[in-house]
Structure 1
């Protein structure tokens, strides 16, 4: 697949439809085409004890309805000047999606989640999180209650890993189109880490200066005993439009002691998360 492609998986739900309000302007700004993909889940029907002919009819109805929905989305995309293609698969759930992303190697994946404050989020959200943990491509998760208003303020939360230079460069490419400000934020749980974090921040600045110039970027150091709580406060204080996070690959021992900030923030924010792996 062309690297300037956005994959937009949809199950035609309200949260998937809400994500489309971000897909369209980002695709236009970044000059990307969109690949709309839907998978028909007929697993429960196939397990049922109904008449096989009736099951076949129901699957055919699902197929026709899905094609109708995909056509409507495609028409809407093209009306906005976006080149797009559709694809229909037949796999249960969204377990197929990580491999699909790996195969097609997109510029970005944009998908919806139920959103914060919804009890159903823990079911749907955990599925979305499993996709996040199994992909190496940037993925934007859009809560059901997010409202697109452009991007004026972006927050990039960092612990100053080497790959963050590459991730911030990606974010800057989007920010330029919106003239958005980027706050590179580090939250530490103890004040004693301040000098060490500043050292790593200066290294990150030096690395970025070699590859990109972007005047609307600032660095912030915050202290709080609960990182996700402090990020949530920051998002409200700054009226941010996007939170970018890195989902670090952890070994088994790390996972025992460190719960994912990405997973926690999926349940706490009303704005999109852009997740790097």
Structure 2
């Protein structure tokens, strides 16, 4: 991994995510690019019905560049030590007019980004993950790995990554990508299936799990990987339980319509994981 993209709106959650991204970049020996997507008020929906002050794109771009420049200086101050062998990430920035998803997607292709890191706010915030239209759009449309960092998450050594699976063969590409990420961190991967049914040794579910895990073994050569199931009342409660585990450093999932992550965001209890977890959520796109 060589490049991490960090979208920011200069909010406190975004600032926290930027610090997390910078510390992660040091471990991965990657560089960090901050970015901001802006819109000109007069071009926004409903703009014709509002009296906006006279401001053009160049003025906004100049202001955004100044804010990004200040952010780079603040993040760089004391970010690297003189310890032998410590990687000091290069920290740069870009800005462009458009939606967050449009700007980020374009930069991922243009700069060959390996990982996008975004912040999400804490409980009670109107910008929390389930209410954040930018974040939801990014999850739905992203064809790149996306790491969502909760407002209360502080970077620590990543030792254990839990991948929550629906036992879908289309998730195998995501697991493969995850092993590359985990190997760079020397982290353990635990493949978890959450079920409300008892897993009988000779039952259908046990067979499905065994077949899925065998598919992973035949495709992935990673020694620090194991498999578990979480037997809980339902998926929501299982995710809540998982989010409370103090030894889990990242929860990972693959996403497309109708799978576990889709249900998590549209169901009646979809706010639970994003509201309560302090654990970053790593989202992979499904293979197409």
Q: TM-score, normalised by structure 2?
A: 0.77
Q: How far 1:155 moved relative to its partner?
A: 1.1
Match of 1:108 in 2: 115
Q: Output the aligned Cα RMSD.
A: 3.4
CA distance in 1, matches of 2:247, 2:59: 47
Cα distance, 1:119–1:59 mapped onto 2, change above 3 Å: closer
Q: How far 1:175 moved relative to its partner?
A: 2.4
1:143 to 143, 150, 154: 150
Name stretches of at least 5 consecutive residues in structure 2 with no aligned partner.
81-86
120-129 vs 24-33, which moves further: 120-129
Q: How far 1:275 moved relative to its partner?
A: 0.6
Match of 1:130 in 2: 137
CA distance in 1, matches of 2:72, 2:245: 41
**8 A contact 2:240–2:272 mirrored in 1:** no
168-177 vs 17-26, which moves further: 168-177
**8 A contact 1:77–1:83 mirrored in 2:** no
**8 A contact 2:253–2:284 mirrored in 1:** yes
- What do the CA deviations read for 1:21-58 (whole angstroms, capped 9, x no partner)? 32123323333222221123441698453663xx3597
CA distance in 2, matches of 1:192, 1:152: 28
Q: How far 1:187 moved relative to its partner?
A: 0.8
- What do the CA deviations read for 1:51-107 (whole angstroms, capped 9, x no partner)? 63xx3597477345324335426745984611343211133x524346425634521
Q: How far 1:230 moved relative to its partner?
A: 1.3
CA distance in 1, matches of 2:215, 2:146: 24
Match of 1:19 in 2: 17
**8 A contact 1:98–1:134 mirrored in 2:** no
Q: How far 1:211 moved relative to its partner?
A: 4.1
Number of aligned pairs? 268
1:49 to 36, 48, 51: 51
Cα distance, 1:168–1:68 mapped onto 2, change above 3 Å: same
- What do the CA deviations read for 1:146-169 (whole angstroms, capped 9, x no partner)? 111121222110011113222222
Q: How far 1:238 moved relative to its partner?
A: 5.0
208-217 vs 59-68, which moves further: 59-68
Match of 1:4 in 2: 2
Trace 1:202-221 onto structure 2 (pairs within 5 A).
Answer: 202-221=210-229
74-83 vs 159-168, which moves further: 74-83
**8 A contact 2:243–2:278 mirrored in 1:** no
Greater helix content: 1
**8 A contact 2:167–2:209 mirrored in 1:** yes
Q: How far 1:248 moved relative to its partner?
A: 2.2
109-118 vs 196-205, which moves further: 196-205
Q: How far 1:112 moved relative to its partner?
A: 0.4
